[in-house]
Amino acid sequence: VARSMRMPNLGLPPFHNFTLGELEEATNNFDPVNLVGERCQGQVYRGLLQSGSAVLVKCIKVKDKHSPKALKQHMDVISQLRHQNLVSVLGHCIVTYQERQKSSTIFIVFEHVTNGSLREHMTDWRRKERLKWPQRMTMSMGIARGVQFLHAGMTPGVFGHDVKIETILLDESLTPKISNYRIPLPFMAETANGQSASSSADPEKEDIYTLGVILLELITGKQITSESQVDELKLELERGLSESASALQQAVDLSMRGTFAYQSIKTATEITLSCLCKDPSRRPPMEDVVWHLQYSIQAQQAWTTSGNLAFNSGNLGLHK
């Protein structure tokens, strides 16, 4: 992991090698009541450790063509999945079953983030009221940094995460955390529907696109459930950019009116549209996305410092 991308102080306990007994106790013997769902790569259960910490336990079945040493090497990589913008890994347990066809189950223990998803916050008007442009911009950067860490903060990088607004969880301070990202286990068994974790021809560029969809929803405030909606909202933003500052202001979420600098929203809109290019080869690399979002934040901070931020309809936030 690149040193610049390490997060040494996340407030997390040290990575722990759990016993099967500890996880059975935490999940009440994997009681179906505690089954959160069948997600990408395996079943997930909620649990409670003896320490009182709430956790999620993902159960992954693997084809056992690998030695215990190979399994351990991959778990060493997984132990690095600790970042302030990921639902971080707290520990693991490997159980090998000596049956006719030898197999193993890997239990991966994650922190449990319980303040709801970004989608829930964006569709509940009371919660949404707290998410003005400065908050959404900070969240956008956090999500982008989480994806960047998965792509470049580990060797090899991990791609093809199908990041969605529903799988972005928020902690109590509204820090976004990517959940349900792909675990780097190349020797995994197939998932329940018989598909591999990522079927995209270019999973890196696909991650850029799905990030763009999240940014589009944060900018427009509109819930996106189809590709046709993505196309419609893209056209609205493209028209806004080409016409005037007031036209772009009309295309963004009205509940943010008066809370954004024009240069900040313009920069964020431009990089969002680039992420959403139909041609994957024209989508920007992840470092460019982060750079533009950082510039957008700096433009917002400069504008706010100048005393422009006003939560009222008289100030449309269009000063350049």
* Residues involved in catalysis: 162
Q: Which two tokens stand for residue 304?
A: 């706010």
Rounded to the nearest 5°, which phi and psi values hold at 58? Answer: -95, 130
List C-alpha distances in Å: 191 to 59, 194, 204: 12, 5, 21
Apex 32 CA angle, 29 and 37, nearest 5 = 120
Rounded to the nearest 5°, which phi and psi values hold at 109? Answer: -100, 125
CA-nearest of 85, 24, 83, 26 to 53 is: 26
Number of residues that this document lists for the chain: 320
**Which of left, alpha, beta for 178 (phi over 0: left; psi -120 to 50: alpha)?**
beta
